[in-house]
């Protein structure tokens, strides 16, 4: 009967912490509404990015004493091949329609008047060709109201015209050289273990492990930080004394840990769902095999209880948030290690750096998730299992030490304890 009562009290405390965190406006907006909006917007992204751009219509004047630059610019601006390459680089819309008349002037006598026409929007652009020892150069002037895509199109045409003019001055055939130097797209595909072929993206191969690690880091740190702040607030306002009149310190501690674990699960479900939906929209679900999700499920509770035990014990030992900064600083530095070593670990998941940090708490859960999701060659199973065992032992030690600190510190008032005093509390009978 006593054990049943203790479990019931613990559940009441857990529900109280969960409810007071989840049913707040900030959490609902940040952890529920925002991911829901992202989930709805993801399928609309292809439609939004395929809008029809405004056509480029008007006059362009080229001030060119020699004559070759104006001809080269006209060719570059209206060349189908050049336009196709520019449209391929521009992912914000469909092909750009160009209806531009190119006019050449051989002297600079009317440059001031032409500049005024550009400022008034009467000209699409003014191109001023200059010749020096290095060959042709060009200055492009556009109206302030010119759209970024129109500006990029004119700039690209001017750059191509400069190269064409320099090539012709050197006595070479520009079209032949361009054909030789054409940067053809190389298609890279990946083949899954089941023999299915799909387009490969090296960028996504780097971002997916980082996404797993950041998802773990954000969900764990948010809930653990809630534990820290709520414990400090309840202690400073003496609410915790009222709670301890109904439950014992261990029941209060376990209830708070379980309540914030529920908060982490809610955040994990929302943001994880958005991530999976995004990969599905890009037809890249195969970059996240089921083994990655299973390993994530193993390391999530380990990482949560490891960090939460530290945060709640520090929160019980102080009465103000600023007093906790000095005690929590070493932990925060350790938690920042995976963020700082993200790229080196992804580059060499089985290297000595990644292997060493996969056994060092509290960074080990985040480093192991990075290793396991980034490795092109499987991480040795014995290393992963040993890392799990070491982490579980670390969690048990931290929970034991945190419970003893919580038991003493939760009713302590006055001076902030030093790390040495916290260690003495651990061994206090």
61 — phi, psi (to 5°)?
-105, 130
Supply the CATH number for residue 90's domain.
3.40.190
Residue 24 and residue 148 in one domain: no
Q: What is the pLDDT of residue 336?
A: 83
Comparing CA positions, the residue from 215, 205, 286 lying closest to residue 35 is 215
**Coil, helix or strand for 58?**
strand
Q: Which helix (H) or strand (E) holds 163?
A: helix 148-169
Residue 231 and residue 340 in one domain: yes
Distances (CA, A) of 307 to 70, 185, 227, 326, 378: 67, 47, 10, 16, 27
Beta strands at 189-191 and 197-199: parallel, antiparallel or unpaired: antiparallel
Residue 112, in any domain of the structure: yes
Contacts of 192 (CB under 8 A, 6+ apart): 198, 286
Q: Which helix (H) or strand (E) holds 63?
A: strand 56-63
Residue 196, in any domain of the structure: no
Distances (CA, A) of 327 to 99, 243, 330: 67, 25, 7
Q: What is the pLDDT of residue 304?
A: 92
Domain that residue 411 falls in: 2-43+201-426
Structure tokens at 403: 């419970």
Strands in 98-105's sheet, in edge-to-edge order, are: 98-105, 56-63, 125-132, 135-141
Residue 241 and residue 114 in one domain: no
| Number of domains into which the chain is organized | 2
Backbone φ/ψ region at 188: left (φ over 0), alpha (ψ -120 to 50), beta: beta
Backbone φ/ψ region at 238: left (φ over 0), alpha (ψ -120 to 50), beta: left
Contacts of 363 (CB under 8 A, 6+ apart): 334, 335, 337, 338, 357
Structure tokens at 98: 């160009």
Please state the separation of Cα 61 from the chain's center in Å: 44
Residue 65, in any domain of the structure: yes
For residue 195, the 8-state DSSP code is S
Residue 109: how many CB atoms within 10 A of its CB?
10
Residue 144 and residue 248 in one domain: no
pLDDT tens for the 429 residues of the chain, in order: 467 788 888 888 888 888 877 777 767 766 666 666 666 665 555 555 555 667 888 888 888 877 778 888 888 887 766 555 555 555 455 567 778 888 888 877 888 888 888 888 888 888 888 877 666 788 888 888 888 888 888 888 888 888 888 887 777 777 777 776 666 666 766 665 566 666 666 666 677 788 888 888 888 888 888 888 888 888 877 887 788 778 888 888 888 888 888 888 888 888 887 777 777 766 666 667 788 888 889 999 999 999 998 888 888 888 777 777 777 877 788 778 888 888 888 878 888 888 888 898 888 899 888 888 876 677 888 888 999 999 999 999 988 888 888 888 777 776 777 778 777 877 776
* Last residue within a domain, chosen from 160, 175, 190: 175
Residue 194, in any domain of the structure: no
């Amino acid at each position: 009967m006593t054990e049943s009562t203790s479990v019931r009290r613990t559940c009441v405390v857990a529900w109280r912490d969960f409810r007071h965190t989840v049913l707040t406006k900030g959490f609902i907006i940040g952890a529920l509404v925002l991911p829901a909006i992202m989930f709805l917007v993801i399928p609309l992204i292809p439609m939004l990015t395929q809008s029809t751009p405004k056509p480029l219509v008007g006059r362009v004047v080229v001030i060119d004493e020699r004559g070759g630059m104006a001809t080269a610019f006209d060719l570059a601006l209206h060349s189908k091949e050049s336009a196709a390459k520019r449209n391929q680089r521009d992912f914000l819309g469909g092909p750009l329609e160009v209806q531009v008349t190119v006019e050449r002037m051989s002297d600079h006598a009317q440059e001031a008047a032409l500049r005024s026409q550009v400022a008034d929007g009467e000209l699409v652009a003014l191109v001023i060709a200059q010749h020096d020892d290095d060959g042709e150069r060009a200055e492009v002037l556009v109206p302030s109201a010119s759209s970024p895509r129109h500006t990029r199109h004119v700039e690209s045409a001017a750059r191509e015209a400069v190269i064409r003019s320099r090539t012709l001055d050197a006595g070479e055939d520009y079209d032949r050289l361009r054909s030789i130097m054409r940067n053809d797209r190389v298609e890279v595909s990946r083949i899954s273990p089941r023999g299915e072929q799909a387009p490969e993206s090296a960028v996504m191969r780097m971002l997916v492990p980082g996404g797993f690690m950041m998802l773990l880091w954000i969900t764990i740190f948010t809930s653990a930080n809630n534990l820290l702040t709520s414990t400090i607030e309840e202690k400073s306002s003496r609410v915790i004394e009222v709670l301890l009149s109904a439950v014992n310190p261990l029941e209060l501690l376990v209830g708070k840990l379980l309540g914030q674990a529920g908060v982490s699960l809610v955040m994990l479900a929302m943001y994880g769902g958005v991530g999976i939906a995004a990969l599905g929209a890009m037809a890249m679900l195969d970059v996240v095999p089921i083994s990655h999700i299973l390993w994530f499920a193993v390391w999530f509770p380990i990482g949560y209880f490891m960090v939460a035990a530290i945060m709640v014990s520090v929160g019980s030992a102080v009465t103000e948030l600023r007093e906790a900064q000095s005690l929590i600083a070493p932990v925060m530095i350790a938690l920042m290690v995976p963020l700082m070593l993200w790229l080196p670990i992804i580059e060499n998941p089985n290297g000595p750096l990644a292997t060493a940090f996969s056994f060092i708490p509290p960074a080990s859960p985040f480093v192991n998730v990075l290793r396991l999701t980034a490795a092109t060659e499987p991480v040795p199973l014995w290393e992963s299992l040993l890392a799990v065992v070491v982490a579980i032992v670390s969690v048990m030690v931290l929970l034991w030490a945190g419970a003893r600190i919580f038991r003493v510190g939760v009713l302590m008032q006055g001076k902030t304890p030093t790390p040495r005093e916290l260690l003495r509390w651990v061994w206090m009978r």
